[in-house]
Amino acid sequence: MQKTLAIIKPDAVQRRLIGKIISKFEEKGLEIIGLKMTVISEGLARKNYSIHEGKDYFEKLVKFMASGPVVILVLRGENAIEVTRRLMGSTSGHEAAPGTIRGDYALSGRFNLIHGSDSVESAKREISLFFDDTSIMEYEKSDLKWIYDMSGENLV
């Protein structure tokens, strides 16, 4: 199963959207195997968003991400990165499809509620920035057989 990182950004925390956002992931069938609330330092924000360094919005992004509490999640599931990014919606809230996190709750491109890893490589790097091995709880869930067809039978 694939792992990915999601950060519920300061704007979403301030707007009390944590539960609604987490519900989207859980209702889809993704497993939460890491979870914490923290304030990200500017240094850590710079590391996490280092691929954007030199772009005109980089400094504003760093300051925004360090401006208040965030909730950081490690999600696991089949195609977790793609699924998470589809649930998030387009970067700019006014362009995001209804039913997505940004489509339902965001209007801005800058205050867009959530960050999600965009590749397997970035997921590994980002998860290691925020979690150590003892902070990720991988355990067997009894509902997986109802989320994924694990029977090996072709019922259709």
10 Å Cβ neighbour count for 66? 17
Under 8 Å between Cβ of 49 and 57: no
Give the DSSP letter string of 66-121.
Answer: TSS-EEEEEEEETTHHHHHHHHH--SSGGGSPTTSHHHHH---SSS-SEEE--SHH
Would you state the structure tokens that stand for residue 112, as one six-digit string?
């867009």
Single out the catalytic residue among 9, 85, 102, 115. 115
Would you state the structure tokens that stand for residue 31, as one six-digit string?
């497993």
Whether 94 is catalytic:
no
* Catalytic residue positions, numbered: 115
